[in-house]
Each structure stands twice: as C-alpha cells, then as structure tokens.
Amino acid sequence: MTSLPQPSAKKLGLVIDLDTCVGCQACATSCKEWNTQGYSAPLTDNNPYDADPSGVWLNRVHGYEVKEQGREQSRIVHFPRSCLHCEEPACVTVCPTGASYKRAEDGIVLVNPETCIGCKLCSWACPYGAREYDDSHGVMKKCTLCVDRIYNDHLEPEDRVPACVKACPTGARHFGDLGDPASPVSLLVKEREGYDLLPEMGYKPVNKYLPPRARRDAATTKPIELPKGDGTAFDRLFTWADQVLSRKIIGTRGDDTDYSGKLEG
Amino acid sequence: MHPAYSVILFTTASGAGYGLLALLGLAGASHGPASSAAFALAASFIALALVTIGLLSSMLHLGRPERAWRAFSQWRSSWLSREGVASVVTYAPALAFAAIWSGVIDAPQLIGPLGIIAAIMCVVTVYCTAKIYSTLPTIRAWAQPLTAPVYLAFSLVTGASLMTAIAAVFNRFQSFQVIVAVAALMLLAVLKFFYWRAIDSAEKTRTIEAATGLGRIGSVTQWELPHTATNFIQKEMGYAVARKHSAALRSFVFLLLALALLAMLASLAAPLIAVLAAVFALAAAVVERWLFFAEAQHVVTLYYGEKRA
C-alpha cells in the first residue's frame, strides 16, 4: 500500500559529516559492491570500460565550491547524496502499484523490484534525485539503507551497518535511530547543528547533514610578511643576502616551461 | 524534464479521444439517437481508438508493461493509479453509449444517462491525468493552478474540432459544433496565455545553497560531478534544450490555435475545412505538450549546478 503508515517511533537513517568527508568515493563504491549482490541486485553497469558508461548508483558524491563571505579563497565541500528516507516521501504516495513503500517498523523507504512497473513517476516526485531507473530490468532502484546488512544475523554485530558507513575511512558517515532523541546520532546532530536538505519542501528527510566547521585562519592564504629587522649583525647578513639574491641577472632566459598540464597532440 | 514521445502521444491522443467522447455523450443526451448510424459508429470508434492508442502508448513508456495491471491498485494515494482506474472504468459507459446511440442496440431511453455518465468519466479521467503533473511540488512549472484547466481545455478543443470534422465528412455538419469549437479555442488560448505568464513570473525560490544546505557558509557553485558520463537523473530531469527556443515555440502554438480558429470559421462556408481545423488543433496540442515537458525544470537540477529552480 502506497499510503503512508503511521509515523514509526524508530527512524533509521544516516548522518553525513560534510566537515570530514574527503570525497574518496569509498561509500559510493562499497554501496555499489554490496548492492549489486544484495536486495537491489544486480546494479546495472552498462559499458563500464567504454566511452559511454552508464548505470545505477544508489549513492553519488558531488563536489561543491563554496565562496565564503570575506574570504579570498573558496573551499571545496564533498557532498554524498543518496535517499534521505523521508518521513513524507512523495515517491511512495505517487507510486501506482504499491511497489514503493515506507516500512512501518523503522521508516526505511524501499522499492519491491518484483512489482515495480518502471513508470519513473517516483523519480519525478523526489527532489533529491535519490531514485534511478535500471534500464536493464525496467524497474527503479534506490538506497535500501542496506536492509539486508543491518538485520543480518549472519554478519558480525559490528558489520550490521550500511556498507557506506562501514567503508568510510574518515568516519564521516553515521548510522542510527534518529527517532530516538538520546541515540548517538541524534546527539551528534544536536551538537553539530545538523540540518535537513530543502526542509521547506515538506518531505521531512530523516537523514541529516552536519555542516563543515568554521575554517581556521591559518588555513587561509594570507601572504606571509617578512618580520621587521632588529638591526643585529645577523639580521644585516640576511638583508644583504636578500638584496643579492633579489638582483636581476641580465641575459637569463625566461622560464618557458609549460605548467598548464595539457598533454601534447 | 525529458519529453518522452510516448507520454506526449498518450496525453494528446487520449485527451482528444476523451474530449470527443464527452461531446458525443452530451450530443446524444440532448438530441437523442444519432441521425446516422455510420456517423455515430465512426465518431465513437475514432474516440475510443484515440483513447486506446493513448493508453497503449503510456504502457509502452513503462519499464515492465506486463505488470501494468498493478497500477490499478493504489487509487487511494496515487493520481496515476486513479487515472488508470478512471480510464478503464470509462470504457463501460462509453461502449454502451456508442452501441445504443448508434442504434446497434435498441434502448433509446438509456442514451441520456449513459451519455452523461460517459461525459463525466471523460472529464474525471483527463482531470486525473493533469493531477499526476500538477501535484508534483518538485516541478514548479507543473504545480500550477492552471495546469489542470489547460489539460481539460486542450481535451475539449481537440475533441470539438474532431467532432466538427467527422460531422462534416458524414454530412452531419451543424453550426453549433463550430460555436462549441470556437468558444473552446478562445478559452484555451486565454488559459494557456495566463499559464505561461504564471510560470514566467513565478519566483524561483529554491537555490543551490538551500539544496545543499551550504548557504550557511557562503555562495555555492558546482565544482565536480559525481560521475564522468550523463546519468539517469540528468537525462530524465535535466533536459533543457527547449528553454532556448521556448518563445518561438510558444508563438507557434498560438499560431496553430489561430489557424484552427480561422479554419473552423471558414468551415461555416465549406464544412470540410473543419478537417483542417482539427489537424491544426491536434498539432497545437502536440507542440504545447512537448513544451510542457521540455520547459519544466526539476528541483533536482540544483544538485547538478543550476543556481535556482
């Protein structure tokens, strides 16, 4: 049934730390690896080594350049984007077949690949680009929050987390119950002022993003100024050396090395 | 949004079919049995054929057409499901009306009720089609109050033009058919004018800063895409070719509507010109529907570098 269930007390989701994410793509590749053999199997990979590769990825890492006011240099923020397991998922309510559903017990949004007709309307209804069409199977695929890992008794307890969380080398991805205000992820969100994407659209995403921390001044590039001389013999030596080294040598050829990085031909 | 030809064919063909069917139902309800069985059967056949072609085309749009029957199940929440149910339910009164109105089955007392029920179901079905689009908050150009009225008006215009054309071919041409078609054409032009004015003046309130939440630090631009080749999201939602030509194509739609109107008026002198009017009206519907998709910007494009949506 694509009508939404009563809101669950348990709201499983991810908390993604944009401060520590380094954009290494480990979450994306581990997601692809796990899900091409699990619930969403297989995840299409058309022409992977060809000129026009295409395929389904449930997690994609964007890069944004952010220009901070009053600072000369902008900063790069790596931004992993996947299903946010919204509390008001329009992707579910628009589904004509009931293939899309939100689990009453933990809030995970799933697609049943056996009943999906591949009309793609759910992808139109999602503002976050979380759903991708698998053209080899004619159905929609999306993040399952690794539902086939997190409850999997065959795995060691420490492995019962989504593959992306397990793979992240910087600990930028956290998994837990965001419906419980005392859970570690909820406390983290509170402490770091985690936020929703496009909250004004009313989808109430469960996943939260932690903003990059304020940049320290040392990390910005102000030209380093020479300290003022104090007139000692040592200081005069350096001043003399600076003058000698600063003198232009007449007849030296200009540096014509190409630093552009372009390959020839 | 990517303008899939199957969806354009579906919405224009079924829209014209339901418009024609509704008008035939109303004509039957007010005038009683058809004066010519051939005209009644031909008109009903064309209406139902257009509807059926449209529905089959929408099925071709599916990844798994063999599972299409499942789409009738979620009418409680999904406008697409409601549309599927309404379109199938409409066949019953429509087929019964066509059989009785044309005189194949002799039950003239049922023409009125069946004609009105069929007409209402046609309106309901087209309304459901429009609601699939107008209830998506992710696409500003669709989530407009005029989206559904424009869909209904296009259905009426193409249906009325077809009715006049078929009547002319079967020597059943009457001036009131022209009056209906001309009034519908003028109503449609006004609605579409205000629709385009509305989407042009609608403020693009969603930004790349809000989409990423990084506005709290500064202004945001795309630095690197997550992939080296175009993905599904970009192909389906990032289609932007038409925005370049939208002004010219909008003028072309109005030109086609004006030509349909002139041809319709000319049919008062020579009824067969109504066929030309129907061709112009259908062409206007196709171009307008292509623009409806191609012009619409999806909010997900913000993650792919668009500044506002």
What distance in Å separates the CA atoms of residue A59 and residue A42, rounded to the nearest whole number? 15
Q: What is the mean pLDDT of chain B?
A: 95
Helix (H) / strand (E) element for A31: namely: helix A26-35
The reported pTM is 0.90
Which of B68, B137, B298 comes nearest A201 by C-beta? B137
**Minimal CA separation from B35 to chain A, in Å:** 42
pLDDT in tens, A113-141: 999 999 999 999 999 999 999 999 999 99
Confidence of residue A265 (pLDDT cuts 50, 70, 90): very low
- Tokens 């418009």 appear where? B19
Question: Which CATH number do you get for residue A160?
Answer: 3.30.70.20
E strands in chain A: 12-17, 45-46, 54-55, 59-68, 75-82, 100-102, 109-111, 132-134, 139-141, 173-177, 208-210
What distance in Å separates the CA atoms of residue A236 and residue B155, rounded to the nearest whole number? 91
pLDDT of amino acid A259: 52
pLDDT in tens, B126-173: 999 999 999 999 999 999 999 999 999 999 999 999 999 999 999 999
* Residues of chain B with C-beta less than 8 angstroms from the C-beta of A94: 77-80, 132, 135-136
Q: Is A57 left (phi over 0), alpha (psi -120 to 50) or beta?
A: beta
Percent of chain B exceeding pLDDT 90 equals 94
Residue B197 has pLDDT above 60, yes or no: yes
User: CA of A94: which chain B residue's CA is closest?
Assistant: B78
Residue B112 has pLDDT above 50, yes or no: yes
Question: Which CATH number do you get for residue B146?
Answer: 1.20.1630.10
Say if A103 falls within a structural domain: yes
Which of B68, B217, B225 comes nearest A212 by C-beta? B217
* Residues of chain B with C-beta less than 8 angstroms from the C-beta of A124: 1, 136, 138-139, 236-237, 298
pLDDT of amino acid B205: 93
- Tokens 């009125």 appear where? B112
What distance in Å separates the CA atoms of residue B295 and residue A223, rounded to the nearest whole number? 48
pLDDT in tens, B212-229: 999 999 999 999 999 988
Which of B73, B80, B231 comes nearest A121 by C-beta? B80
Say if B78 falls within a structural domain: yes
Question: Which residues are CB-contacts of A36 (< 8 A; sequence separation ≥ 6)?
Answer: A42, A43, A45
Say if B309 falls within a structural domain: no
Q: B223, B292, B307: which to substitute to probe chain A, counting the most A Cβ within 10 Å?
A: B223
Give the Cβ contact number of residue A81 at 10 Å.
24
Say if B115 falls within a structural domain: yes
Say if B271 falls within a structural domain: yes
Q: Is B74 on the interface with A (CB under 8 A)?
A: yes
Q: Locate B182 and state its tokens.
A: 């001309």
Residue A250 has pLDDT above 60, yes or no: no
Q: Locate B180 and state its tokens.
A: 């209906």
Say if B82 falls within a structural domain: yes
Supply the range of the domain harboring residue B239: 5-304
**Minimal CA separation from B156 to chain A, in Å:** 26
Please count the residue pairs, one from chain A and one from chain B, whose beta carbons lie less than 8 angstroms apart: 198
Instruction: Please answer yes or no on whether A97 and B81 come within 8 Å at the CB atom.
Output: yes
Which of A129, A139, A200 comes nearest B63 by C-beta? A139
Residue A225 has pLDDT above 80, yes or no: no
Dihedrals phi, psi of B147, to nearest 5 degrees: -60, -50
Q: Is B1 on the interface with A (CB under 8 A)?
A: yes
What distance in Å separates the CA atoms of residue A19 and residue A46, rounded to the nearest whole number? 34
Q: Which of 184-213 (B) contact A at CB < 8 A?
A: 206, 208, 210-213
What is this model's ipTM? Answer: 0.94
Residue A252 has pLDDT above 60, yes or no: no
Which of B64, B132, B237 comes nearest A139 by C-beta? B64
What distance in Å separates the CA atoms of residue A228 and residue A239, rounded to the nearest whole number? 11
Which of A54, A90, A140 comes nearest B231 by C-beta? A54
User: CA of B75: which chain A residue's CA is closest?
Assistant: A96
Q: What is the mean pLDDT of chain A?
A: 90
Higher pLDDT, A41 or A119: A119
Question: Which residues are CB-contacts of A7 (< 8 A; sequence separation ≥ 6)?
Answer: A87, A107
Confidence of residue B73 (pLDDT cuts 50, 70, 90): very high
Q: B55, B58, B61, B64: which to substitute to probe chain A, counting the most A Cβ within 10 Å?
A: B64
Supply the range of the domain harboring residue A177: 12-217
- Own/partner contacts of B189-198, CB < 8 Å, gap of 24 or more, are B189/B254, B189/B257, B189/B258, B191/B146, B191/B149, B191/B150, B191/B153, B192/B150, B192/B153, B192/B253, B192/B254, B192/B257, B192/B288, B193/B254, B194/B146, B195/B144, B195/B146, B195/B147, B195/B150, B196/B250, B198/B144, B198/B145, B198/B146
Which of B80, B222, B223 comes nearest A119 by C-beta? B80
Question: Which residues are CB-contacts of A60 (< 8 A; sequence separation ≥ 6)?
Answer: A28, A80, A81, A82, B226, B227, B231
Q: What is the mean pLDDT of residues B195-218?
A: 95
Smallest CA-to-CA distance from A73 within A219, A207, A173 is with A219
Q: Do B160 and B19 meet the contact criterion of CB atoms below 8 Å apart?
A: yes
Number of domains in chain B: 1
Q: Is B171 on the interface with A (CB under 8 A)?
A: no
Instruction: Please answer yes or no on whether A117 and B63 come within 8 Å at the CB atom.
Output: yes
Dihedrals phi, psi of A49, to nearest 5 degrees: -110, 20
Q: What is the mean pLDDT of residues A63-85?
A: 92
pLDDT of amino acid A255: 53
Say if A175 falls within a structural domain: yes
The Cα-based distances of A105 to B76, B102, B232 in angstroms read: 22, 57, 31
Say if A81 falls within a structural domain: yes
User: CA of A81: which chain B residue's CA is closest?
Assistant: B303
Say if B157 falls within a structural domain: yes
Q: Is B109 on the interface with A (CB under 8 A)?
A: no
Percent of chain B exceeding pLDDT 70 equals 99
Q: Do A152 and A126 meet the contact criterion of CB atoms below 8 Å apart?
A: no
Number of domains in chain A: 1
What distance in Å separates the CA atoms of residue B231 and residue A141, rounded to the nearest whole number? 13
Instruction: Please answer yes or no on whether B233 and A123 come within 8 Å at the CB atom.
Output: yes
pLDDT of amino acid A160: 97
Give the Cβ contact number of residue A195 at 10 Å.
16
What distance in Å separates the CA atoms of residue A168 and residue A29, rounded to the nearest whole number? 10
pLDDT in tens, A83-109: 999 999 999 999 999 999 999 999 999
Instruction: Please answer yes or no on whether B64 and A129 come within 8 Å at the CB atom.
Output: no
* Residues of chain B with C-beta less than 8 angstroms from the C-beta of A137: 63
Instruction: Please answer yes or no on whether B303 and A137 come within 8 Å at the CB atom.
Output: no
Say if A253 falls within a structural domain: no
Q: Is B81 on the interface with A (CB under 8 A)?
A: yes
Say if B161 falls within a structural domain: yes
**Minimal CA separation from A67 to chain B, in Å:** 5
Scored b (16 or more CB within 10 A) or e, B230-241 reads ebbbbebbbbee
Pairing of strands A139-141, A132-134: antiparallel
